[in-house]
Amino acid sequence: MVFPRQASTFAGGHEFIFKHAIFHSVTYESVLKRLRKVYHAQVAAWLVERSGERVNEYAGLIGEHYERAGETAQAAEWYGRAGNQAQDTYAPEAAINYYQKALALAPPNAPTTWRAAMYDGLGEMLRRQARFPEAAEAYITMRAAAEAAGDPIAQARAWYGLAAVQERSGDYRPALESAGRVEAIVLAVPAYPPEIHTRAQMELARALYTKGLVNFRLGNGEAALALGERALTISMQAGARYQMALSLDLLASVHDYMLGHPEQAAHYYEQALGVFRELGNRMGMGAMLNNLGENARLRRDFKTAVVRYQEALKVAREIGARDGEISSFSNLGGARVGLGEYVAAEADLREAIRMAGASGWGWLSETYRFLAEACLGQGKVAEALEAAQQALHLGQETESKEDIGRAWRTLGVVKSRQPEIHDRPSAGEAQTPEAAACFAASYQVFTEASLEAEQARTLREWARHEWQAGDRENGRRRWQEARAIFERLGLAAEAAEMDQTRPAQ
């Protein structure tokens, strides 16, 4: 019934295996229950002793044996270590399971700092899996544990985690408030002991980064740039390489989307990618590949964008980052729209929407906007209108000026291409304005937010509409204004594309 293995996991040891799983079950059940606990405890102790430097690889198994031995405090400790190990090796679902087991088995007198650390890990893993309501709950519980422990740094970390969840959910105003709480906590105690000064600086850099990111989402470019530069300076002073990479990413996004400086943005993205590679942080590497794809898409280099997005998607799948998968599918769909691959684009975009489900993923406005363009490219006008209206609704919910302005522009394009379409609003809802009014609304949003590149893109589509409607004078004026903006911002690809696609006079 039992056979020896040729090789043993542990040097100098001998391993055996049952011929059939049923033999194992029958044999196990034949052992008296009071003896089982003794044997499980002995196995756990033996694994700890023999694992040496690799002990964390067996932390989950050790925790299971201690749990079966009835030694719940020991089990909780080892499940916590297993959660950390799973997090470090990109096994998010396993990490979530271990953290939850650790917290469930922890004795009432478990140190509050340990509890805070467990909730921190749990919240991070839930966020990566786009399980945002559960992640928020974990960070709120962590905050309570940190307050009970009188640990201001852990409190700040909990507020930061909550702010990160709120930002990914599109709850930008609450995220701004949570990040502000981090900053207030850290700055309220200026004389930290040297041993925790670096941690305090790291949390401050995180808070500034998050405030900058939310301001970026809300279209406040000047504030986002200033906060990103402060976060970069502090993270460099603290030697916080991971946070430094995030700050570089924020600065890149501001230059890419708001200032119209794609070359400068690409430089920052490449720097951040290099830092993440040095750290061996595959989550960060995947995010930067995604962002480099966005940089290429904004430069109208859709083929390069597709390659980058596919690389990012591959990384996200390998490390089990559902959030990254959703983002990659959405962006990939947008690049395929640029290539005119509308059927494939629609498939990618609907997959992103399906995966997001009811998670509260906060960037679906852009996904629906891309979907509207993919449907319009296939002549599916009614579906395009529905998707564009959803994009506007989601943008208004998050108060993202970029999303709102882009959604209005897409609605204008839909209405312009098929002016005879009549949408049927739900009870209590107003009908979508006609094309010119949609373009005007888009232009106003981008003007107020000082998003010049987006202003130009709206003027370009507005000009096409006016040419099509027979208003050649206004069409020519808006076309020239759009091209002049692209030229001034150094967006040569978009200016050249306008020259090639200029409507007939």
Token digits of residue 71: 């030694």
Instruction: Establish if 495 belongs to a structural domain.
Output: no
Question: CB–CB of 348/367 below 8 Å?
Answer: no
pLDDT tens digits, one per residue of 431-459 = 668 999 999 999 999 999 888 989 999 99
Q: What are the distances in angstroms from CA 36 to CA 24, 29, 42, 69, 411?
A: 14, 9, 10, 7, 68
Q: How many residues are recorded in the chain?
A: 505
Instruction: Establish if 214 belongs to a structural domain.
Output: yes
Give the domain CATH number at 90. Answer: 1.25.40
Domain that holds residue 106: 20-110
Whole-angstrom Cα distance, residue 411 to residue 436? 10
My answer on whether 36 and 153 are in the same domain is: no
Tens-digit pLDDT string for the chain (505 aa):
888 888 877 777 888 988 888 988 888 888 888 899 999 999 999 999 988 888 999 999 999 999 999 999 999 999 999 999 999 999 999 999 999 999 999 999 999 889 999 999 999 999 999 999 999 999 999 999 899 888 888 999 999 999 999 999 989 999 999 999 999 998 887 666 666 667 788 888 989 999 999 999 888 889 999 999 999 999 998 889 999 999 999 999 999 888 878 889 999 999 999 999 999 999 999 999 999 999 999 888 999 999 999 999 999 999 999 999 999 999 999 999 999 999 999 999 999 999 998 777 888 999 999 999 999 999 999 999 999 999 999 999 989 999 999 999 999 999 988 655 555 554 445 566 899 999 999 999 999 988 898 999 999 999 999 998 899 999 999 999 999 999 998 888 889 989 988 876 5
pTM: 0.80
Whole-angstrom Cα distance, residue 387 to residue 373? 9
My answer on whether 261 and 290 are in the same domain is: no
Instruction: Establish if 437 belongs to a structural domain.
Output: no
Instruction: Establish if 433 belongs to a structural domain.
Output: no
My answer on whether 245 and 306 are in the same domain is: no
Instruction: Establish if 9 belongs to a structural domain.
Output: no
Which among 55, 76, 58, 56 has a CA at the least distance from the CA of 66?
76
Instruction: Establish if 497 belongs to a structural domain.
Output: no
Domain boundary among 65, 90, 110: 110
My answer on whether 221 and 263 are in the same domain is: yes
My answer on whether 311 and 244 are in the same domain is: no
My answer on whether 206 and 310 are in the same domain is: no
pLDDT tens digits, one per residue of 288-301 = 999 999 999 988 89
User: What's residue 426's pLDDT?
Assistant: 47
DSSP secondary structure of 325-347? HHHHHHHHHHHHHHHT-HHHHHH
Instruction: Establish if 369 belongs to a structural domain.
Output: no
My answer on whether 221 and 337 are in the same domain is: no
Q: What's the angle, vertex CA 180, arms to CA 175 and CA 184, rounded to 5?
A: 155
Give the domain CATH number at 311. Answer: 1.25.40.10
> Which one-letter DSSP state was computed for residue 17?
E
My answer on whether 66 and 44 are in the same domain is: yes
**Cβ neighbour number for residue 45 with a 10 Å cutoff:** 15
**Burial annotation 53-83 (CB, 10 A radius, 16+ → b, else e):** eebbebbbebbbbbbbbebeebbbbbbbbbb
My answer on whether 268 and 289 are in the same domain is: no
User: What's residue 492's pLDDT?
Assistant: 85
Whole-angstrom Cα distance, residue 19 to residue 287? 46
My answer on whether 307 and 215 are in the same domain is: no
DSSP H helices, 240-281, are 241-253, 262-279
State how many domains the chain has.
Answer: 3
My answer on whether 295 and 248 are in the same domain is: no
Instruction: Establish if 408 belongs to a structural domain.
Output: no
My answer on whether 154 and 241 are in the same domain is: yes
Dihedral sign (CA 293, 260, 436, 424): positive
Q: What are the distances in angstroms from CA 198 to CA 153, 191, 276, 486?
A: 10, 12, 20, 43
Question: CB–CB of 99/77 below 8 Å?
Answer: no
